Structure 1
Amino acid sequence: MACFGPSPGWAPQQGVGMPGQAGAPMVGPAPALFGNTRYHYHTRDGGPPNDGKPPVLPSSGMPIPPWGFAPGVSGAAFGGPGGAAFGGPPGSAFGGPPGAAFGGPPGSAFGGSPGAAFGGPPGAPFGGPASQPPMGCFPGPPPGAGGPPPPAYTCFPTSSTTPGPVATPPAPSNFLGGVLYAPKDEEDVPAPGNRVNGRLARVDDGSGVLLPEHMTTFHVLNPGCHPERTKHFKRDMKFKVQLADSQWTVRYLIKQLGGLKILERQKEWAHREDLVAVEEWHELGNGEFRPGSTVYYNSAKAACTLAEMGWGPERGKAGGQPAVWVVLYPIPPFAFGYHTKQLGELVFGVQRWETERGAKKAYHRDNRTDQEPGEITKAGDLIQSVWPANTDLRFKAITLFEPEKKSLLPYLDAEHSGGRLPFIPRKALSSYYIRNTDRFHEAIVNLSEGKIESNVRLGANVHGSGDYEEIVELEKQALEHEAVKAEIAKLKLPEGAVVCADPWIYGSDGVDDDHRYYQVFMYMRDPANASEADSNHYAFPLPFSPVFNASTFELVRIDQLPTGADKTLKPIAAYQAKAASEYVSEYQELRKDVKALHVLQPDGPSFTVTTTGETGWTVAWQKWTFRVGFNQREGMVLYDVRYESRPLFYRLSLSDMNIPYADPRAPFHKKSAFDLGDAGAGITANNLQLGCDCLGHIQYLSSVVSDDKGKPVPLPNCVCVHEVDSGISWKHTNYRTGRAAVARSRELVLQSIMTASNYEYVLAFVFNQAGELAYEVRATGILSTQPIDHDLDKTGVAWGTVVHPGVLAVHHQHNFSLRVDPMIDGPNNSVVYQEAHAMPVDKDWNPHGNGYVVTEHTITTSGGYDLDTDANRVFKIVNPAVKNPINGKSVAYKIIAPPFQKILSSPDSFNFKRAEFSDHNIYVTAHRDRELYSGGWYTNQSRGGTGVRSWAARKDKVEDSDVVVWVQFGINHVPRTEDFPVMPAETLKVMLKPVNFFAKNPALDVPPSTQTFNQSTLVAAVNHQPACH
């Protein structure tokens, strides 16, 4: 069947098009509507499919002709009655009067003049040579078909009454006849009589790799459909296209297995004019899917069928035969750049696809997982392509640009109900510089369509984060610069001394800091052990600090550091010898009484991890399910957290952290690190090692980030997943019977560790069996140190602690911000705070003065709120529309956060202005998609005004709506000698606990703790007690 002429790689043969029973439109000899060239399909290596044997319909075993449609009843096409096409009355096509096609006058096709096809001049059928016509036009029949000389092209009219071509660019060569033109989105669906402009949706990448980055979306809509139905049919109006070996293919994904599926709801849909579809994929196992079949229907005015010319799902495995798809469907004339006032006017398109031998791995790409290696490369290449040749770009990040929440919520509904997953395009967000300049840009790349949606230069005082390659280059420049060497020479260091450089984000004070700088702090290894690469150089701080331009790597100046009790700068003095302070094990006298403690799970773990692509995972454990993502800035991100399928949290992540230091002297006054915004929990993630960072039965998750050239960098083992025993979950002993009922608590831990220069943060999400979720931070690592005069070793200064001779560790705060995007039993939630107050003494109600009551107050507008320990103030996220079946209270989760001292910097300081989250325990804001980071999107040398404090100032409505809760916690770290040379971990934990969410203790069904299950052993038989059973 040659509808638009042969495409490259397809072999046309002269013959009869769509042979069938006599009297059937679109079936029979040359007078058939679609011309008289048919295609014989070949595999890529030139051989016929299945050794020349015709394929069969999987559901019936009926042979499928090479044009891809099964025979109808005698005289019918596509299952209509005798002499009918698409279910119209005998002698009609698509429901028009006898002898008419698509409702036009007798002898016409698609409403054109008698004898014309698709509104062209009389005698012009719909088919022809391989050359591509202009947009909206189609080639005539091939030479030698008989009859008068055919026209070169047949074109659609610009209205229902005026025929003729319209000057448009030629169609791209890798699709047939322009069938991939479509309205831009659902809002472009016209009301009757409205003009709508279409667009060309295409993929330009010819790599032929079947991966999600080649997907794009098209909307195939009847121009006569009613706007009010558009929303209802939104998911039925889309399909996805992947590029495969320069051919187009339609691909769908729903959770349904089997062969060709005939539309079961045909009768229910028959009265509608809206195009609908049933979709299938075949699951092969190991994450592989193979497309099955799709059947389209709308009303009697139009119909569409897709048939698979291939074999069952087992053929999709490697080494199987290729599958060939033929697609026939109606599309509106305006989709070709035309408009129409005639309701129901449609045009036809045919597209085909031939795969190579052996199935390629295909999967549904989840839009909550970060960029895969190929996507990072593609995004970087697309951005590079818009700049003149030889423009050198320095990429700061290429990461997932998350879809709008309003798009993902229907996706989640479909995912959990087993419905069709709406297609959401994959997008990347990139920040980058023109290398060696301050010209900083942000781009959003639509990976599905292979295009850049936005690419803007950001304004003044907006700077990108640091990156690894930049830090390495700065260290090199600092150690090789002649001016720095001259300063080192003044110290008269011991022979063979090795100097080290620690580049720090410059910070902000508003003084000559418009450019992006680094403040480099200088140290020295232990001179007695200078060859030891792991020597603790923080025990040997040096009294000067170079400042470098981060773009050009040029030295700006060298700051002398104050080393006394005030801001006085002293001449550099010669180095004074002192002892080292090492932390690595080979320099310690290790304990000899530590026995092995093994964590074993002989039956395997209780959790399962399912991979979604290369950078996303679904975890199921003890009634919990959730998605895990991992990105460059936040590290771990949890999506769609549910317990027993009930939604709890849409998104959870550590949003930001700030570490302001207390030394008021320059240049230390600018020392205020944003370790997520200035660096990133993802890009600094450790490669976790078995038996070291996580104990037990471990599963590791690996991810990928981008480098400064826009290329992928693997992050192996950046997350570990394991179970731990956390003691008793619940217990009661009936003293009357002596029976003890007890269950132990088990926790699931997802852990990642970041290293931000000198500091480490162990970051973990912790789940338990009682429906509780925690976020835990363990701060460890090495203190950031600075020199202090030896005569102050015993007296010190007010803003720090001397932790080693000549070494000052300054007081500092660690302020963390946890972003909680809730959906407690649904997306609309409220935040309330609960307080306990003593009842006044009253002779009737509280005569003994012991009574107290608990009150609740609903937060109605966005703002910052604080804990009150005197009132036992607790914040809860509630769903006012869902009530507990026992007591009728709104279901809720409460936030238990440790109290912390809010930021101590003056409200007029840059430290305070920049750390917008650090002045309240809780912030509540209305959800907005790009408001992810409580300190603002770009924190490096920021000025403030772009974070959660500013968002909360909008005073948005936050009652019974889509809210976001920002939970702050932290420590005021007053260093002690025990914190050096490496500090014991300081643990902080935020708990999210159910309140009236369940009808009873959800951990009641945890099996009781028994010796048979636990297999504990005795150290000795002394004081032996019987085992529990």
Structure 2
Amino acid sequence: MIKRLKRFLWLPIAIIVVVCILLGLMGILTAQQPFISHPLTSLTEAEISTAVSFIKREKTLSEMAAFPLIALQEPDKEEVLNFGPGKAFQRKAFLVIYERSQNKTYEGIVDLKNKALNSWKEIPSVQPAIVNSDYELATEVVKADPQWQKAMQRRGITDFDQVKISCWAPGILSKQEEATGNRLCRALSYYKGQGWNYYGSPIEGVLAKVNLNAGKIVSLVDKGNVPFSKENWNYDVKSLGKLLSAPKALKILQPNGASFRIDNNEISWQGWKFRYLMHPRSGLVLYQVTHDDGKDIRPVLYRASLSEMVVPYGDPDPTWSFRNAFDVGEYNLGLLANTMELGKEIPENGLLLDTVFANEQGEPYKIPGVIGIYERDNGMLWKHYEYNTQRNHVRRSRELVMTMTVAVDNYDYSINWIFHQDGTLEVQNELTGILLTQGTAAQKQSENDLYGRLIAKNILGVNHQHFFNYRLDFDVDGQANSVMEMNVKALPMDEKNPLGNAIAVTEDPLAKETAAVRDLDMKSSREWMIVSANKKNTLGAAPGYMLMPGENSIFLPVERSNIRQRAEFATHHVWVTKYKPTEFYAGGDYPNQTQPGQGLPQYITDDESLMGEDIVLWYTMGVTHVPRSEDWPVMPVHRVGFKLVPRGFFSRNPAINLPE
């Protein structure tokens, strides 16, 4: 009887165990396959694996095949704009495949829903972005080379493990290098010693050119011994000696929680609503940015992202003149994003979000805390003190910041999208990290140092620039938009202006793409507006958003210079194009070892109309950096940015009804 009872008792226990296992499996599957509620949701790990598996099944790839980029194939814009709950939508993956053994680049588009290969094509004569295996191969090849080893030994370096190899995209190519079509990199050498900040000890004058297809050094330059700094340039607490006294604790508290709301990848805050996505090349991308004016939800931008960067260095020496990094397209900026920490890159009241990328083997992986979002105080929003009543009318300003940080070799950048309560959207880039230094025998600044400044003994900071191009797909109150240029000028004294104080403003349409290649003009306070082509505000004017520039510079490489031809997007501050779904990158789709004239110069060759069209504004901003000793050994943050400011978009100050 007892035995029979035990047998029956096992039955419910077994059922419970099976149910638990099934529930656990369902939980795992749910975790691996997040709910996809919108066409602009990032690729999941499962979708990346599906796309790669399908490519491998349909195409014969070698063991050396790499996947430099796997991303969401952006759906048709009209499909996204017409999407609503319950509607079906496409899910496609875009893949770049590089066959090193064949030196060929392919693009594939996989339909994830229908398990079909929608597109497969070879892209001739291009090189995709540098991948991890390129760095590893370059290091192995350089350190095994007898000539390089002798160059190190001449400098008293016998332990080659103490040397760090930095692999750069080759930059400007000679005619011979172009003719071979090989995948190349240029390898710099740094002495590490016992420190970790090896950028303070460049082994100057040694430059190796590596053929990454053949796995061998093509050429080695050794210009002779230059002393390199033997000082320890680490800047951790242990290395710095006596420290400043720490400031007293500053706490940012939100006892009632954050004011923003996140629903999958959609964020709502103070009238703003937008979607976000982390792209392996562009980094943080915003979509469908709208503002609720109390009556209507009104579109402002369909898509906004960093499109390209270029960092030209200003020393004509052949071991330096090639250094013109296209950080977005040559190195896949998004993949270089790093995990942030609360209380460090973003304040303690912030929220950190994860993202999913794919490595060059096509394997998905998750990066935790790669996107930060937080609210911060920004001083006064508006104020008026009324003397008659002695009342003080004032509102405190709050901002919503969405950010990412990336480390591109020695430099670090953060990209910040800042939403204001007055309807302004601001972009702010932060530049920090470690200067790219040049070894020198000098221990004191010399008048002969034309191309840089001595920042420490034996260390020269080379003059250089940073240029960022942003692609801004405006949909101001709809897709039918036009672009206006505003110029302000003082009028001459005459009978209508007897005191000479008149200030006049002109607004002129930029009707065609070639006419919309423009530059800043400080004398006329030049700004640009994207306005609705078919709607009017309450005062009878076209509602619009104005691009308000901040700090900027001009691109200094001279006419006919190679880098000017490769980075033509940086030679003008504003470009405007009619929307095309394939035009994403100001420097072209494949800037690594590219031909001149790619990207924006190519996009405007058809010179399309910009009147009442779906238009994209491309804004370029630059920083000219003449290094100083205070930039060493790590550079304080330098901020540069611009604002998109409503102009006639609202009938009044949109923050006037903010409660106290």
Aligned to 1:643: 291
Kindly indicate whether the alpha-carbon contact (under 8 Å) linking 1:497 and 1:524 is maintained by their aligned counterparts in 2: no
Question: Please, which of 354, 371, 377 is the counterpart of residue 719 of structure 1?
Answer: 371
1:360 & 1:914 partners in 2: Cα distance? 42
Q: Mapping of 1:620-1019 within 5 angstroms?
A: 620-644=268-292, 645-790=297-442, 793-843=445-495, 845-863=496-514, 864-885=517-538, 887-1008=539-660
Paired position in structure 1 for 2:12: none
Is 1:512 matched up with 2:179? Answer: no
Equivalent of 2:77, from 394, 398, 405?
Answer: 405
What is the CA–CA distance in structure 2 between the aligned matches of 1:839 and 1:895, rounded to whole Å?
25
The 1:537–1:858 alpha-carbon spacing in structure 2 relative to 1, beyond 3 Å, is closer
Q: Residue 914 and residue 576 in structure 1: after superposition, are their counterparts in 2 closer, same or farther (change >3 A)?
A: closer
Amino acid at match of 2:183: R
8 Å CA contact retained: 1:524, 1:542: no
> How far 1:793 moved relative to its partner?
5.0
CA distance in structure 1 between the aligned counterparts of 2:46 and 2:335, rounded to whole angstroms:
18
- Provide closer, same or farther for how the CA distance between residues 821 and 491 of structure 1 changes in structure 2, counting only shifts above 3 A: same
- Answer whether contact 2:439 2:458 (CA < 8 A) is retained: yes
SS in 1 for 2:353: strand
Q: Judging changes above 3 Å, is the alpha-carbon distance between structure 1 residues 805 and 997 closer, same or farther for their aligned structure 2 residues?
A: same
Structure (1 or 2) with the larger CA radius of gyration: 1
Q: Does 1:458 align with 2:154?
A: no
Deviation string 1:105-142 (CA, Å, 9 cap, x unpaired) is xxxxxxxxxxxxxxxxxxxxxxxxxxxxxxxxxxxxxx
In the other structure, the counterpart of 2:7 is none
Whole-angstrom CA distance in 2 between matches of 1:358 and 1:437: 40
**DSSP-derived class of the 1:728 partner:** strand
Q: For residues 744 and 827 of structure 1, what CA distance do their matches in structure 2 show?
A: 34
Name the structure 2 match of 1:544: 206
**1:361 offset after TM fit, Å?**
7.4
Q: Distance in 1 between matches of 2:643 and 2:172?
A: 34
Aligned pair in 2 of structure 1 residues 435, 941: CA closer, same or farther (>3 Å)?
closer
1:556 aligns with 2:218: yes
Quick one: which amino acid aligns to residue 585 of structure 1? V
SS in 2 for 1:697: coil
- The whole-number CA distance in structure 2 between the counterparts of 1:829 and 1:669 is 42
CA distance in 2, matches of 1:849, 1:457: 64
Q: Match of 2:42, SS?
A: coil
What is the one-letter code of the residue matched to 2:182?
A: H
* Cα distance in structure 2, aligned partners of 1:892 and 1:359: 43
Matched, 1:493 2:165: no
SS of the counterpart of 2:143? helix
**Residues 508 and 991 of structure 1, relative CA distance in 2, 3 Å threshold:** same
Distance 1:761 1:824 in 2: 30
- Aligned letter for 1:638? L
SS in 2 for 1:760: strand
User: Residue type of the partner of 2:149?
Assistant: K
Q: Which amino acid aligns with 1:869?
A: M
Of 616, 619, 623, the residue aligned with 2:267 is 619
SS at match of 1:399: strand
What is the aligned counterpart of 1:610 among 242, 253, 263?
Answer: 263
Aligned equivalents of 1:594, 1:635: Cα separation in 2: 34
Which range moved further: 963-972 or 464-473?
A: 464-473
1:403-436 Cα distance to aligned partner (Å, 9 max, x none): 222332322xxx3xx6x52x33211111111233
Verify: 1:470 aligned to 2:134, yes or no.
Answer: yes
Q: Which moved more, 1:362-371 or 1:822-831?
A: 362-371
What SS is found at the alignment partner of 1:981?
A: coil
Offset at 1:375? 1.4
Shift of 1:502: 1.1
User: Which structure 2 segments of 5+ residues have no match?
Assistant: 1-21
User: What fraction of aligned residue pairs are identical, expressed as a percent?
Assistant: 29
Whole-angstrom CA distance in 2 between matches of 1:478 and 1:406:
51
1:955 aligned counterpart, secondary structure? coil
SS state at 1:377 partner: helix
Listed as ranges, the matches of 1:152-231 within 5 Å are none
Equivalent residue, structure 1, for 2:11: none
1:576: Cα distance to partner? 6.5
For 2:212 and 2:562, locate their aligned partners in 1 and report how far apart those are by CA, in whole Å: 21
Q: Does 1 or 2 have the higher relative contact order (CA < 8 Å, sep 6+)?
A: 2
What amino acid does structure 2 have at the position aligned with 1:628? Y
Amino acid at match of 1:520: A
Per-residue CA deviation, residues 665-685 of structure 1 (Å, 9 max, x unaligned), is: 213211110000011221000
Contact (CA 8 Å) 1:658, 1:816: kept in 2 or not? yes
Alignment partner for residue 371 of structure 1, among 33, 36, 43?
43
Quote the offset at 1:943 in angstroms.
1.3
Aligned 8 A contact 2:550 2:643 in 1: no
Worse-matched range after superposition: 703-712 or 551-560: 551-560
Give the Cα–Cα distance (whole angstroms) in 1 for the partners of residues 643 and 535 of structure 2. Answer: 22
Contact 1:508 1:943 in 2 (8 A): no
Counterpart of 1:145 in structure 2 is none
Of residues 754-763 and 463-472 in structure 1, the stretch that sits farther from structure 2 once superposed is 463-472
Deviation of 1:360 after TM superposition, in Å, equals 11
User: Is the 2:201–2:228 Cα contact (8 Å) retained in structure 1?
Assistant: no
Aligned length in residues? 625
1:774 Cα deviation after fit: 0.6
Structure in which a larger fraction of residues adopt strand: 2
8 A contact 2:229–2:459 mirrored in 1? no
- In the alignment, the residues of structure 1 paired with residue 63 and residue 33 of structure 2 have an alpha-carbon distance, to the nearest angstrom, of 36
Deviation of the 1:789 alpha carbon: 2.8
Question: By how many angstroms is 1:499 displaced?
Answer: 1.3
Query: Which amino acid in the other structure matches residue 279 of structure 2?
Result: N
Shift of 1:389: 7.0
Equivalent runs, 1:91-490 vs 2, <5 Å? 363-388=35-60, 391-411=63-83, 415=84, 421=87, 423-460=88-125, 462-490=126-154
Cα distance in 1 for partners of 2:96, 2:399 equals 38
1: distance between equivalents of 2:574 and 2:641? 15
- Secondary structure in 2 matching 1:917: helix
Aligned partner of residue 647 in structure 1, secondary structure: strand
Residues 503-559 of structure 1 deviation map (CA, whole Å, 9 limit, x = unaligned)? 11111233332322111111112x4xx1x4x33443343431222122343222212
Q: Alpha-carbon deviation of 1:627?
A: 0.3
Structure-2 change in CA distance of 1:712 and 1:551 (3 Å): farther
Q: Which amino acid aligns with 2:44?
A: E
Q: Given that residues 867 and 899 in structure 1 are in contact (C-alpha distance below 8 angstroms), is that contact kept between their aligned partners in structure 2?
A: no
Unaligned runs of 5+ in 1: 1-317, 323-356, 561-568, 612-616, 1009-1029
Q: 1:692 to 1:472 in 2, by over 3 A?
A: farther
Describe the shift of the 1:406–1:549 C-alpha distance in structure 2 as closer, same or farther (beyond 3 A).
same
Structure with a larger share of its residues in helix: 2
Find out whether 1:521 has 2:173 as its counterpart: no
SS for the counterpart of 1:835 is strand
Could you say which residue in structure 1 is the equivalent of 2:225? 572
Aligned-partner Cα distance in 2 for 1:592–1:581: 22
